[in-house]
Amino acid sequence: MSIALIKKLNEKTPYWLKRPFAKVIRKRLVENNIFKETYALLKMGDGMSSEEKHKWQVEQLKSLLVYAYENTEYYHHIFDEIKLDPNSVENLEILEKIPILDKKTLAESLNSISSANILDYYTVTTGGTCGKPTKVFMEKNAIYKEWAFVYHYWSKFGYDFYKSKLATFRGVDLGEKICEINPLYSEIRLNPFRMNRDNIEAYINRIDKYGADFIYGYPSVIYNFCRLSKEKKISLKGKYKAAFLISENLYQFQRELIQEVLSCKMAMFYGHSERAVFAEEYNNGYKFNSFYGITEFIKSGELIVTGFINMKTPLIRYIVDDEVQLISPSTFSITGHWKSEVLYGKNGERVSMATINFHNDTFENTTGYQLIQSEVGVFVINVTSERKLSMDELNRISQRMNLKVGSGFSCTAKQVDTLELTSRGKYKLLVQNCKNEI
Protein backbone atom coordinates (compact mmCIF):
# COMPACT_ATOMS: atom_id res chain seq x y z
CA MET A 1 0.00 0.00 0.00
CA SER A 2 1.46 3.39 -1.03
CA ILE A 3 2.07 6.16 1.50
CA ALA A 4 -0.29 8.41 -0.50
CA LEU A 5 -3.15 5.93 0.02
CA ILE A 6 -2.20 5.47 3.67
CA LYS A 7 -2.30 9.26 4.13
CA LYS A 8 -5.73 9.47 2.48
CA LEU A 9 -7.16 6.65 4.61
CA ASN A 10 -5.55 8.18 7.69
CA GLU A 11 -7.18 11.56 6.97
CA LYS A 12 -10.66 10.10 6.37
CA THR A 13 -10.79 7.62 9.25
CA PRO A 14 -12.02 8.83 12.69
CA TYR A 15 -9.45 8.52 15.47
CA TRP A 16 -11.52 6.14 17.60
CA LEU A 17 -11.27 3.66 14.71
CA LYS A 18 -7.56 4.33 14.06
CA ARG A 19 -6.43 4.24 17.68
CA PRO A 20 -6.03 0.42 18.02
CA PHE A 21 -3.95 0.43 14.83
CA ALA A 22 -1.82 3.52 15.59
CA LYS A 23 1.48 1.61 15.81
CA VAL A 24 0.72 -0.34 12.63
CA ILE A 25 -0.08 2.89 10.76
CA ARG A 26 3.15 4.47 12.01
CA LYS A 27 5.24 1.46 10.94
CA ARG A 28 4.02 1.89 7.36
CA LEU A 29 6.30 4.92 7.24
CA VAL A 30 9.28 4.21 9.49
CA GLU A 31 9.71 0.54 8.56
CA ASN A 32 9.39 1.08 4.83
CA ASN A 33 12.52 -0.20 3.01
CA ILE A 34 13.08 3.05 1.08
CA PHE A 35 12.85 5.04 4.33
CA LYS A 36 15.31 2.73 6.09
CA GLU A 37 17.79 2.71 3.18
CA THR A 38 17.76 6.51 2.96
CA TYR A 39 18.12 6.93 6.72
CA ALA A 40 21.06 4.48 6.72
CA LEU A 41 22.73 6.47 3.91
CA LEU A 42 22.40 9.68 5.91
CA LYS A 43 23.82 8.07 9.06
CA MET A 44 26.76 6.83 6.99
CA GLY A 45 27.11 10.31 5.50
CA ASP A 46 27.67 11.74 8.99
CA GLY A 47 31.09 10.06 8.96
CA MET A 48 32.06 10.87 5.37
CA SER A 49 34.65 13.48 4.40
CA SER A 50 33.87 16.40 2.07
CA GLU A 51 35.80 14.64 -0.70
CA GLU A 52 33.76 11.46 -0.27
CA LYS A 53 30.50 13.40 -0.36
CA HIS A 54 31.63 15.25 -3.50
CA LYS A 55 32.47 11.97 -5.23
CA TRP A 56 29.06 10.57 -4.26
CA GLN A 57 27.35 13.67 -5.73
CA VAL A 58 29.20 13.32 -9.05
CA GLU A 59 28.14 9.68 -9.33
CA GLN A 60 24.55 10.56 -8.43
CA LEU A 61 24.49 13.45 -10.91
CA LYS A 62 25.72 11.19 -13.70
CA SER A 63 23.01 8.66 -12.90
CA LEU A 64 20.36 11.40 -12.85
CA LEU A 65 21.42 12.93 -16.18
CA VAL A 66 21.56 9.54 -17.89
CA TYR A 67 18.09 8.73 -16.61
CA ALA A 68 16.66 12.11 -17.64
CA TYR A 69 18.17 11.81 -21.13
CA GLU A 70 16.83 8.31 -21.68
CA ASN A 71 13.38 8.80 -20.15
CA THR A 72 12.19 12.38 -20.80
CA GLU A 73 11.56 14.26 -24.03
CA TYR A 74 12.56 17.63 -22.57
CA TYR A 75 16.04 16.71 -21.33
CA HIS A 76 16.73 14.48 -24.33
CA HIS A 77 16.16 17.48 -26.59
CA ILE A 78 18.11 19.90 -24.35
CA PHE A 79 21.14 17.61 -24.00
CA ASP A 80 21.27 16.97 -27.75
CA GLU A 81 21.00 20.70 -28.41
CA ILE A 82 23.94 21.57 -26.12
CA LYS A 83 25.87 18.43 -27.14
CA LEU A 84 26.02 17.01 -23.62
CA ASP A 85 26.75 13.30 -23.25
CA PRO A 86 25.46 12.33 -19.78
CA ASN A 87 27.55 9.15 -19.81
CA SER A 88 30.73 11.25 -19.83
CA VAL A 89 29.98 13.24 -16.64
CA GLU A 90 33.09 13.49 -14.44
CA ASN A 91 32.40 16.61 -12.34
CA LEU A 92 29.65 18.92 -11.12
CA GLU A 93 30.75 21.79 -13.39
CA ILE A 94 28.97 20.08 -16.29
CA LEU A 95 25.73 21.49 -14.86
CA GLU A 96 26.69 24.98 -16.00
CA LYS A 97 26.08 23.91 -19.61
CA ILE A 98 22.44 23.05 -18.90
CA PRO A 99 19.84 25.86 -19.21
CA ILE A 100 18.08 27.01 -16.04
CA LEU A 101 14.56 25.62 -15.57
CA ASP A 102 12.01 28.13 -14.23
CA LYS A 103 8.44 27.63 -13.02
CA LYS A 104 6.95 28.95 -16.25
CA THR A 105 8.81 26.35 -18.32
CA LEU A 106 7.98 23.65 -15.78
CA ALA A 107 4.27 24.48 -16.00
CA GLU A 108 4.28 24.61 -19.80
CA SER A 109 6.40 21.47 -20.32
CA LEU A 110 5.48 19.30 -17.32
CA ASN A 111 4.61 16.21 -19.35
CA SER A 112 7.76 16.33 -21.47
CA ILE A 113 9.93 16.97 -18.39
CA SER A 114 8.38 13.97 -16.62
CA SER A 115 9.23 10.31 -17.12
CA ALA A 116 6.48 8.14 -18.61
CA ASN A 117 8.11 5.01 -17.18
CA ILE A 118 7.21 5.73 -13.55
CA LEU A 119 3.54 4.90 -13.16
CA ASP A 120 3.18 4.98 -9.37
CA TYR A 121 3.15 8.70 -8.57
CA TYR A 122 1.00 11.52 -7.26
CA THR A 123 0.64 15.23 -8.05
CA VAL A 124 1.84 18.00 -5.76
CA THR A 125 1.29 21.71 -6.20
CA THR A 126 3.30 24.69 -5.09
CA GLY A 127 2.61 28.42 -4.98
CA GLY A 128 3.67 30.17 -8.17
CA THR A 129 5.40 33.51 -8.55
CA CYS A 130 2.23 34.87 -10.18
CA GLY A 131 -0.13 33.45 -7.58
CA LYS A 132 -0.99 30.39 -9.67
CA PRO A 133 -0.03 26.97 -8.26
CA THR A 134 2.52 24.93 -10.24
CA LYS A 135 2.19 21.15 -10.57
CA VAL A 136 4.93 18.54 -10.18
CA PHE A 137 4.56 14.77 -10.50
CA MET A 138 6.12 13.00 -7.50
CA GLU A 139 7.14 9.34 -7.43
CA LYS A 140 5.64 7.56 -4.42
CA ASN A 141 9.03 6.74 -2.90
CA ALA A 142 9.96 10.43 -2.62
CA ILE A 143 7.91 10.92 0.53
CA TYR A 144 9.73 8.07 2.31
CA LYS A 145 13.06 9.63 1.36
CA GLU A 146 11.86 13.07 2.45
CA TRP A 147 10.91 11.91 5.93
CA ALA A 148 14.22 10.09 6.30
CA PHE A 149 15.98 13.45 5.77
CA VAL A 150 13.65 15.21 8.22
CA TYR A 151 14.00 12.60 10.97
CA HIS A 152 17.76 12.35 10.50
CA TYR A 153 18.04 16.11 11.06
CA TRP A 154 15.65 16.07 14.01
CA SER A 155 17.58 13.20 15.62
CA LYS A 156 20.40 15.67 16.29
CA PHE A 157 18.00 17.39 18.73
CA GLY A 158 16.87 14.23 20.51
CA TYR A 159 13.98 13.16 18.28
CA ASP A 160 13.39 9.38 18.10
CA PHE A 161 10.99 8.41 15.30
CA TYR A 162 9.91 5.32 17.25
CA LYS A 163 9.13 7.09 20.53
CA SER A 164 8.77 10.87 20.14
CA LYS A 165 5.46 12.72 19.74
CA LEU A 166 4.79 16.07 18.07
CA ALA A 167 2.43 18.94 18.83
CA THR A 168 1.95 20.25 15.30
CA PHE A 169 0.86 23.76 14.27
CA ARG A 170 0.39 23.75 10.49
CA GLY A 171 -2.32 24.68 7.98
CA VAL A 172 -4.62 21.67 8.40
CA ASP A 173 -8.28 22.72 8.32
CA LEU A 174 -9.98 21.05 11.30
CA GLY A 175 -13.25 22.97 11.09
CA GLU A 176 -14.54 23.77 14.56
CA LYS A 177 -12.23 21.25 16.27
CA ILE A 178 -9.14 22.60 18.00
CA CYS A 179 -7.14 19.40 17.49
CA GLU A 180 -6.97 15.83 16.20
CA ILE A 181 -4.58 12.87 16.59
CA ASN A 182 -2.61 11.73 13.53
CA PRO A 183 -0.90 8.36 14.19
CA LEU A 184 0.91 8.27 10.83
CA TYR A 185 3.26 11.04 12.00
CA SER A 186 2.87 10.48 15.76
CA GLU A 187 1.40 13.93 16.25
CA ILE A 188 -1.46 15.91 17.67
CA ARG A 189 -2.51 18.49 15.09
CA LEU A 190 -3.58 21.83 16.52
CA ASN A 191 -5.94 24.15 14.66
CA PRO A 192 -4.11 27.48 14.07
CA PHE A 193 -7.27 29.20 12.82
CA ARG A 194 -9.25 28.88 16.07
CA MET A 195 -6.44 29.59 18.55
CA ASN A 196 -6.98 32.78 20.58
CA ARG A 197 -6.62 34.15 24.08
CA ASP A 198 -9.90 32.59 25.23
CA ASN A 199 -9.04 28.99 24.36
CA ILE A 200 -5.24 28.80 24.65
CA GLU A 201 -5.51 26.82 27.92
CA ALA A 202 -7.62 24.20 26.14
CA TYR A 203 -4.90 23.84 23.49
CA ILE A 204 -2.21 23.32 26.13
CA ASN A 205 -4.34 20.80 28.03
CA ARG A 206 -4.86 18.74 24.86
CA ILE A 207 -1.12 18.75 24.15
CA ASP A 208 -0.35 17.68 27.71
CA LYS A 209 -2.90 14.88 27.58
CA TYR A 210 -1.40 13.56 24.33
CA GLY A 211 2.12 13.66 25.78
CA ALA A 212 3.90 15.59 23.02
CA ASP A 213 7.59 16.16 23.72
CA PHE A 214 8.34 18.28 20.62
CA ILE A 215 6.67 21.34 19.04
CA TYR A 216 6.47 21.45 15.22
CA GLY A 217 5.04 23.96 12.74
CA TYR A 218 5.10 27.43 11.22
CA PRO A 219 7.14 30.02 13.17
CA SER A 220 4.35 32.61 13.09
CA VAL A 221 1.86 30.13 14.57
CA ILE A 222 4.23 28.83 17.25
CA TYR A 223 5.09 32.46 18.05
CA ASN A 224 1.38 33.17 18.50
CA PHE A 225 1.01 30.05 20.68
CA CYS A 226 3.84 31.32 22.89
CA ARG A 227 2.54 34.90 22.90
CA LEU A 228 -0.94 33.84 24.01
CA SER A 229 0.52 31.49 26.66
CA LYS A 230 2.64 34.32 28.03
CA GLU A 231 -0.37 36.67 28.10
CA LYS A 232 -2.28 34.11 30.17
CA LYS A 233 0.77 33.58 32.42
CA ILE A 234 0.98 29.86 31.57
CA SER A 235 4.48 28.44 32.02
CA LEU A 236 5.74 26.14 29.24
CA LYS A 237 9.42 26.10 30.24
CA GLY A 238 10.97 22.65 30.06
CA LYS A 239 7.87 20.97 28.62
CA TYR A 240 9.35 20.32 25.18
CA LYS A 241 12.77 19.04 24.12
CA ALA A 242 12.85 21.19 20.96
CA ALA A 243 10.73 23.31 18.63
CA PHE A 244 10.96 22.33 14.94
CA LEU A 245 10.08 25.28 12.70
CA ILE A 246 9.24 25.07 8.99
CA SER A 247 8.04 26.90 5.84
CA GLU A 248 8.73 30.49 6.94
CA ASN A 249 11.58 32.75 7.92
CA LEU A 250 12.18 33.01 11.65
CA TYR A 251 12.58 36.64 12.65
CA GLN A 252 14.57 37.71 15.68
CA PHE A 253 11.54 38.91 17.67
CA GLN A 254 9.91 35.51 17.09
CA ARG A 255 13.05 33.61 18.07
CA GLU A 256 13.42 35.62 21.28
CA LEU A 257 9.84 35.11 22.46
CA ILE A 258 9.73 31.40 21.54
CA GLN A 259 13.02 30.89 23.37
CA GLU A 260 11.78 32.86 26.38
CA VAL A 261 8.49 30.94 26.65
CA LEU A 262 9.58 27.41 25.70
CA SER A 263 13.20 27.57 26.90
CA CYS A 264 14.23 24.74 24.56
CA LYS A 265 16.33 24.15 21.45
CA MET A 266 15.00 25.41 18.11
CA ALA A 267 15.64 23.82 14.74
CA MET A 268 14.60 24.71 11.22
CA PHE A 269 14.96 22.98 7.90
CA TYR A 270 14.33 24.51 4.51
CA GLY A 271 12.65 22.71 1.63
CA HIS A 272 9.83 23.11 -0.86
CA SER A 273 6.95 21.14 -2.37
CA GLU A 274 8.97 20.25 -5.48
CA ARG A 275 11.43 18.32 -3.25
CA ALA A 276 14.65 19.35 -4.96
CA VAL A 277 16.47 21.00 -2.04
CA PHE A 278 16.88 20.43 1.70
CA ALA A 279 18.84 22.68 4.06
CA GLU A 280 19.37 22.32 7.81
CA GLU A 281 19.84 25.17 10.27
CA TYR A 282 22.88 25.16 12.54
CA ASN A 283 23.93 28.21 14.61
CA ASN A 284 21.49 30.56 12.84
CA GLY A 285 22.68 29.59 9.35
CA TYR A 286 21.69 26.91 6.85
CA LYS A 287 23.76 24.08 5.41
CA PHE A 288 22.45 22.33 2.29
CA ASN A 289 22.29 18.54 2.50
CA SER A 290 24.43 17.17 -0.33
CA PHE A 291 22.60 13.82 -0.35
CA TYR A 292 19.31 15.52 -1.26
CA GLY A 293 20.62 17.35 -4.29
CA ILE A 294 23.04 19.91 -5.72
CA THR A 295 22.74 23.63 -5.00
CA GLU A 296 24.13 26.52 -7.04
CA PHE A 297 24.04 30.22 -6.27
CA ILE A 298 24.06 33.07 -8.77
CA LYS A 299 25.25 36.60 -8.07
CA SER A 300 21.77 38.03 -7.58
CA GLY A 301 21.33 35.68 -4.62
CA GLU A 302 18.95 33.31 -6.35
CA LEU A 303 19.08 29.60 -5.66
CA ILE A 304 19.35 26.92 -8.36
CA VAL A 305 18.74 23.31 -7.35
CA THR A 306 19.08 19.84 -8.84
CA GLY A 307 17.15 17.21 -6.90
CA PHE A 308 18.02 13.55 -6.37
CA ILE A 309 14.92 12.12 -4.70
CA ASN A 310 12.21 12.39 -7.40
CA MET A 311 12.80 10.72 -10.76
CA LYS A 312 9.22 11.10 -12.01
CA THR A 313 9.75 14.81 -12.72
CA PRO A 314 13.53 15.35 -12.60
CA LEU A 315 14.28 18.96 -11.68
CA ILE A 316 17.71 19.84 -13.06
CA ARG A 317 18.97 23.41 -12.51
CA TYR A 318 15.57 24.50 -11.23
CA ILE A 319 15.42 28.10 -9.98
CA VAL A 320 13.33 28.70 -6.83
CA ASP A 321 11.67 31.84 -5.49
CA ASP A 322 13.84 32.15 -2.41
CA GLU A 323 17.10 34.07 -2.07
CA VAL A 324 20.31 33.10 -0.27
CA GLN A 325 23.23 35.01 1.22
CA LEU A 326 26.60 33.58 2.23
CA ILE A 327 27.26 33.93 5.98
CA SER A 328 30.43 31.84 6.20
CA PRO A 329 31.97 29.04 4.11
CA SER A 330 29.15 26.52 3.39
CA THR A 331 26.66 28.39 5.63
CA PHE A 332 23.84 30.57 4.24
CA SER A 333 20.85 32.65 5.22
CA ILE A 334 17.64 32.06 3.26
CA THR A 335 14.93 34.63 2.58
CA GLY A 336 11.77 32.57 2.30
CA HIS A 337 8.92 33.08 -0.14
CA TRP A 338 6.31 33.68 2.59
CA LYS A 339 8.44 36.10 4.63
CA SER A 340 6.40 35.29 7.76
CA GLU A 341 3.42 37.29 6.47
CA VAL A 342 0.40 37.01 8.73
CA LEU A 343 -3.21 38.16 8.89
CA TYR A 344 -4.33 39.78 12.17
CA GLY A 345 -7.66 38.58 13.63
CA LYS A 346 -10.01 40.55 15.86
CA ASN A 347 -9.56 38.10 18.78
CA GLY A 348 -5.78 38.00 18.68
CA GLU A 349 -5.55 35.34 15.94
CA ARG A 350 -2.53 35.41 13.65
CA VAL A 351 -2.81 33.33 10.50
CA SER A 352 0.29 32.62 8.42
CA MET A 353 0.18 32.87 4.64
CA ALA A 354 1.69 29.39 4.48
CA THR A 355 -1.45 27.99 6.13
CA ILE A 356 -3.81 29.43 3.51
CA ASN A 357 -1.88 28.56 0.38
CA PHE A 358 -4.87 26.77 -1.19
CA HIS A 359 -3.91 23.68 -3.20
CA ASN A 360 -7.41 22.73 -4.39
CA ASP A 361 -10.03 24.02 -6.83
CA THR A 362 -10.85 27.20 -4.89
CA PHE A 363 -9.05 29.32 -7.49
CA GLU A 364 -9.48 27.03 -10.52
CA ASN A 365 -11.06 29.77 -12.68
CA THR A 366 -8.56 32.45 -11.71
CA THR A 367 -5.14 33.39 -13.02
CA GLY A 368 -3.91 34.76 -9.71
CA TYR A 369 -4.94 35.98 -6.27
CA GLN A 370 -3.70 38.33 -3.57
CA LEU A 371 -4.81 39.27 -0.05
CA ILE A 372 -5.02 42.90 1.09
CA GLN A 373 -5.45 43.75 4.79
CA SER A 374 -5.89 47.31 6.07
CA GLU A 375 -7.97 46.62 9.19
CA VAL A 376 -7.66 44.05 11.99
CA GLY A 377 -10.04 41.15 11.33
CA VAL A 378 -10.93 42.27 7.81
CA PHE A 379 -9.27 41.59 4.45
CA VAL A 380 -10.00 41.55 0.74
CA ILE A 381 -8.88 38.84 -1.66
CA ASN A 382 -8.28 40.24 -5.13
CA VAL A 383 -8.48 37.73 -7.98
CA THR A 384 -7.67 37.95 -11.67
CA SER A 385 -9.20 35.84 -14.44
CA GLU A 386 -9.25 35.57 -18.22
CA ARG A 387 -13.02 36.06 -18.08
CA LYS A 388 -15.52 37.88 -15.91
CA LEU A 389 -16.25 35.83 -12.82
CA SER A 390 -19.83 35.46 -11.62
CA MET A 391 -20.96 36.60 -8.18
CA ASP A 392 -21.46 32.93 -7.28
CA GLU A 393 -17.80 32.21 -8.08
CA LEU A 394 -16.59 35.19 -6.06
CA ASN A 395 -18.88 34.26 -3.17
CA ARG A 396 -17.52 30.70 -3.23
CA ILE A 397 -13.97 32.04 -2.87
CA SER A 398 -15.07 34.31 0.01
CA GLN A 399 -16.93 31.49 1.76
CA ARG A 400 -14.03 29.04 1.49
CA MET A 401 -11.56 31.62 2.72
CA ASN A 402 -13.80 32.58 5.65
CA LEU A 403 -14.12 28.91 6.59
CA LYS A 404 -10.36 28.53 6.35
CA VAL A 405 -9.37 31.46 8.56
CA GLY A 406 -12.19 31.25 11.10
CA SER A 407 -14.54 33.60 12.94
CA GLY A 408 -11.83 36.13 13.77
CA PHE A 409 -11.89 37.39 10.18
CA SER A 410 -14.22 38.70 7.50
CA CYS A 411 -13.12 38.25 3.88
CA THR A 412 -14.57 39.57 0.62
CA ALA A 413 -13.43 38.44 -2.83
CA LYS A 414 -13.15 41.00 -5.61
CA GLN A 415 -12.11 40.66 -9.25
CA VAL A 416 -9.40 43.08 -10.43
CA ASP A 417 -7.47 43.61 -13.65
CA THR A 418 -3.99 43.25 -12.12
CA LEU A 419 -2.40 42.29 -8.81
CA GLU A 420 -0.12 44.64 -6.88
CA LEU A 421 3.64 44.23 -7.29
CA THR A 422 6.51 45.47 -5.12
CA SER A 423 8.84 48.26 -6.25
CA ARG A 424 11.10 45.50 -7.64
CA GLY A 425 8.24 44.04 -9.63
CA LYS A 426 7.74 41.03 -7.35
CA TYR A 427 4.44 39.46 -6.40
CA LYS A 428 3.45 39.16 -2.74
CA LEU A 429 0.60 36.95 -1.62
CA LEU A 430 -0.25 39.38 1.20
CA VAL A 431 -0.15 43.16 1.01
CA GLN A 432 -0.22 43.97 4.73
CA ASN A 433 -1.26 47.57 5.38
CA CYS A 434 -2.36 46.84 8.94
CA LYS A 435 0.53 47.90 11.19
CA ASN A 436 -1.47 47.30 14.35
CA GLU A 437 1.14 45.05 16.00
CA ILE A 438 3.87 42.56 15.24
Residue 422, pLDDT score: 62
**Least confident window among 180-189, 232-241, 357-366:** 357-366
Could you tell me if 297 and 304 are in contact, meaning their C-beta atoms sit under 8 angstroms apart? Answer: yes
Instruction: Give the architecture-level CATH label for domain 360-432.
Output: 2-Layer Sandwich (3.30)
pLDDT tens-place string over residues 194-242 = 898 899 999 999 999 999 999 999 887 898 899 899 989 999 999 999 9
**Residue 19 pLDDT grade (very low, low, confident, very high; cuts 50, 70, 90):** low
Helix, strand, coil: what percent of the chain each, to 5? Answer: 35, 25, 40
Q: Which range is least confidently modeled, 35-49, 185-199, 332-346?
A: 332-346
Helix H, strand E, coil C: the string for 277-306 is: CCEEEECCEEEECCCCEEEEECCCCEEEEE
* SS3 state at 177: coil
**C-alpha span between 352 and 349 (Å, rounded):** 10
Amino acid at the residue 240: Y
Q: With contact defined as beta carbons under 8 Å apart, do 174 and 223 qualify?
A: no
pLDDT bin (cut points 50, 70, 90) of residue 340 is very low
Quick check: 110 and 313 in contact, CB under 8 A?
yes
Q: Which CATH superfamily is domain 1-338 in?
A: ANL, N-terminal domain (3.40.50.12780)
Cβ contact 143:6 at 8 Å: no
Whole-number pLDDT of residue 424: 46
Residue 247 pLDDT: 77
Cα gap 196→225, rounded to integer Å: 8
> Could you report the per-residue pLDDT of 117-164, keeping only the tens digit for each?
999 999 998 755 555 668 999 999 999 999 999 999 999 999 999 999
The pLDDT value recorded for residue 7 is 57
Domain boundaries, the chain: 1-338, 360-432
pTM of the model: 0.78
Model pLDDT, residue 284: 78
Question: So what's the pLDDT on residue 339?
Answer: 47
Comparing 1-338 with 360-432, is the CATH topology the same?
A: no
- Give the pLDDT score at 138: 97
Q: How confident is the model at residue 401 (pLDDT cuts 50, 70, 90)?
A: very high
In this predicted model, which residue has the larger pLDDT, 32 or 324? 32
Residues in the chain: 438
Report, as an integer, the average pLDDT of 352-371. Answer: 75
Task: Say if residues 273 and 263 touch (Cβ distance below 8 Å).
Answer: no
